[in-house]
């Protein structure tokens, strides 16, 4: 169980969790995968026979019809997405829970995806292996957490939260000898965290008598870690929701920011999420590069000046790039350093909520470009800084060549 927590539960929970928090919970956005479900000519022909029209349109309609009702019932929609995946990958003659490569009635079962695209039969051994590993991991997750949805909700308890009159901070660092919470709120003097049996460190800080938080909103925060080698390093909390840098100082490092604004400073949502259109017309945009002046544009500027033009051009969806925090602006947001944090170059989390709320008021659904297959190699500001050369099951990343993407240097 220790191995399951360290290698599978926490690392995969992190990756799944920030997709959920950015695309559904924190922002109120709908999430739509960008990968078309069918690619081969035979699959396109099947789609044309089923409904006519251009294959791309059929792919889009197929994709959308599966997701009608997302705005009305998020829970049902998430289950529907899982069922849609299972239909493609389910073993012939079995339900969604069936595993690949098993024998039933004396004959070996095959994945249904070969019926959709026979060209995949050349890769059957590898696909069967990967599906088998998927089923094993899914069953382990469901046995431990109850469901994949619950498993992906780590953001609700990891990082900073408020529980039972306390500010609670949790961080998964199983290889650490000691962990401390530091920031300008305690003069950068460490407050010690306690470790549980799964390598999760925790501190509970009671609120003041008058109910005020012991960590003021906007405080700079970092986690100080004693590595397995005995040295101390300062890192930005892995689950931080906001991180900033002193733009006037060359080469300055980012600081995590404790984001918990008082009620009168929080964005108040005015509009519900629009229903998913039957046909998406998507305008892809980079908020920082959307202005006419040679500077980084803000979320609010985009909402007030660009969204009306998108609406007037009859688009019903906007896809936003580079929303997750990334220290290197030239990466177009693909070298993510803080997966749960809204990019501070364009404003605060409340400003991003304003943009999304404004789009919803115009009937425009919002899609967020999320990067979760790799992360920046920046160890000072990002998740890579939690790799101290420890064993693989105690790290967020794989070791050796499997943990490094040469083409992205990430």
Mean pLDDT in residue range 33-38? 31
What is the SS3 string spanning the chain?
Answer: CHHHHHHHHHHHHHHHHHHHHHHHHCCCCCCCCCCCCCCCHHHHHHHHHHHCCCHHHHHHHHHHHCCCCCCCCHHHHHHHHHHHHHHHHCECCCCCCCCCCCEECCEECCECHHHHCHHHHHHHHHHHHHHHHHHHHHHHHHHHHCCHHHHCCHHHCCEEEEECCEEEEEEECCCCCEEEEEEHHHCCCCEECEECCCCEEEEEEECCCCCCCCCCCCCEEEEEEECCCCCEEEECCCCCCCEECCCCCCCCCCEEECCCCCHHHCCCCCCCCCCCCCCCCEEEEEHHHCCCCCCCCCHHHHHHHHHHHHHHCCCCEEEEECCEECCCHHHCCCCCCEEEEECHHHCCHHHHHHHHHHHHHCCCEEEECCCCCCCCCCCCCCHHHHCCCCCHHHCCCCCHHHHCCCCCCC
- Using only the alpha carbons of the chain, give its radius of gyration: 23
SS3 per residue for 55-85:
HHHHHHHHHHHCCCCCCCCHHHHHHHHHHHH
pLDDT score of 252: 84
% residues pLDDT > 90 (the chain): 62
Which tokens hold the place of 70?
Answer: 């997302």
pLDDT confidence band for 400 (50 / 70 / 90): confident
**Is 28's pLDDT higher than 80?**
no
Determine the Cα–Cα distance for residues 354 and 283; give it in Å rounded to an integer: 18
Tokens of 101: 């490569």
| pLDDT of 364 above 90 | yes
Among 65-74, 116-125, 216-225, 321-330, the minimum mean pLDDT is found in: 65-74
Taking each helix axis as running N to C, give the angle between helix 41-51 and helix 55-65, from 0 to 180 degrees, rounded to the nearest 10: 70
Long-range CB contacts (< 8 A, 24+ apart) of 72-76?
A: 72/275, 74/24, 75/149
Residue-level pLDDT at 53: 38
For residue 174, pLDDT beyond 60: yes
Of residues 104 and 323, more confidently modeled: 323
Q: What is the mean pLDDT of residues 126-139?
A: 94
Nearest to 404 by CA among 369, 382, 373, 371: 373
Residue 372 has pLDDT above 80, yes or no: yes
**297 pLDDT above the threshold of 90:** yes
State residue 80's pLDDT score.
53
Tell me: pLDDT of 134 over 90.
Answer: yes
Predicted confidence at residue 357, as pLDDT, reads 98
Q: Which of 139, 171, 242, 187 is nearest to 10 (CA)?
A: 171
Is the pLDDT confidence value at 3 over 80? no
pLDDT in the model for residue 86: 53
Q: What digits encode the pLDDT tens for the residues 201-260?
A: 999 999 999 989 999 999 999 999 999 999 999 999 999 999 999 877 877 899 999 999
Rounded distance between C-alpha atoms, residue 163 and residue 350, angstroms: 22
pLDDT at residue 37 in the model: 30
Given a cut of 60, is residue 18 above it in pLDDT? no
HSE of 58 in the Cβ direction (CA atoms, 13 Å)? 15
305: pLDDT strictly greater than 50: yes
Mean pLDDT of 136-153: 91
pLDDT tens string 250-294? 778 999 999 999 999 999 999 999 998 999 999 999 999 999 999
Across 342-351, average pLDDT: 96
Assign 16 a pLDDT band (cuts: 50, 70, 90). Answer: low
pLDDT score, position 289: 95
226 contacts 176 by C-beta, under 8 angstroms: yes
- Taking only the tens place, the pLDDT of each residue in 54-107 is 333 333 333 333 333 333 344 444 445 555 555 555 554 333 444 444 544 444
**Percent share of the chain, pLDDT over 70:** 74
Looking at every residue in the chain, the average pLDDT score rounds to: 80
49/132: higher pLDDT: 132
């Amino acid at each position: 169980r220790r191995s399951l927590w360290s290698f599978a539960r926490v690392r995969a929970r992190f990756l799944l969790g920030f997709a959920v928090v950015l695309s559904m919970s924190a922002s109120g956005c709908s999430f739509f995968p960008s990968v078309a479900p069918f690619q081969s000519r035979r699959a396109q022909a099947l789609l044309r026979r089923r409904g006519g029209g251009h294959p791309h349109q059929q792919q889009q309609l197929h994709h959308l019809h599966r997701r009608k009702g997302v705005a009305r019932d998020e829970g049902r929609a998430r289950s529907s997405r899982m069922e849609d995946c299972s239909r493609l990958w389910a073993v012939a003659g079995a339900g969604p829970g069936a595993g690949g490569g098993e024998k039933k009635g004396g004959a070996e079962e095959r994945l249904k995806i070969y019926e959709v695209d026979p060209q995949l039969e050349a890769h059957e051994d590898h696909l069967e292996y990967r599906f088998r590993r998927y089923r094993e991991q899914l069953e382990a997750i469901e046995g431990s957490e109850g469901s994949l949805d619950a498993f992906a909700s780590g953001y609700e308890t990891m990082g900073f939260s408020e529980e039972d009159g306390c500010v609670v901070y949790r961080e998964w660092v199983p290889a650490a000898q000691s962990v401390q919470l530091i920031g300008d709120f305690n003069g950068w003097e460490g407050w010690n965290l306690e470790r549980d049996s799964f390598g999760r460190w925790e501190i509970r800080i009671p609120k003041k008598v008058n109910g005020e938080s012991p960590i003021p909103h906007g405080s700079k925060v970092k986690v100080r870690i004693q590595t397995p080698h005995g040295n101390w390093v300062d890192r930005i909390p892995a689950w931080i929701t906001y991180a900033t840098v002193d733009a006037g100082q060359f080469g300055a490092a980012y600081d995590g920011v404790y984001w918990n604004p008082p009620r009168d400073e929080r964005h108040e949502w005015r509009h519900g999420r629009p229903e998913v259109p039957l046909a998406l017309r998507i305008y892809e945009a980079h908020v920082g590069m959307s202005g006419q002046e040679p500077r980084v544009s803000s979320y609010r500027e985009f909402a007030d000046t660009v969204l009306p033009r998108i609406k007037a051009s009859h688009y019903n969806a906007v896809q936003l790039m580079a929303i997750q925090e990334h220290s290197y602006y030239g990466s177009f947001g693909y070298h993510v350093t803080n997966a749960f944090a809204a990019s501070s170059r364009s404003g605060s989390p409340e400003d991003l909520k304003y943009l999304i709320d404004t789009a919803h008021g115009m009937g425009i659904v919002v899609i967020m470009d999320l990067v979760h297959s790799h992360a920046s190699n920046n160890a000072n500001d990002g998740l890579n800084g939690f790799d101290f050369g420890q064993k693989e099951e105690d790290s967020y990343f794989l070791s050796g060549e499997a943990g490094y993407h040469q083409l992205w240097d990430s």
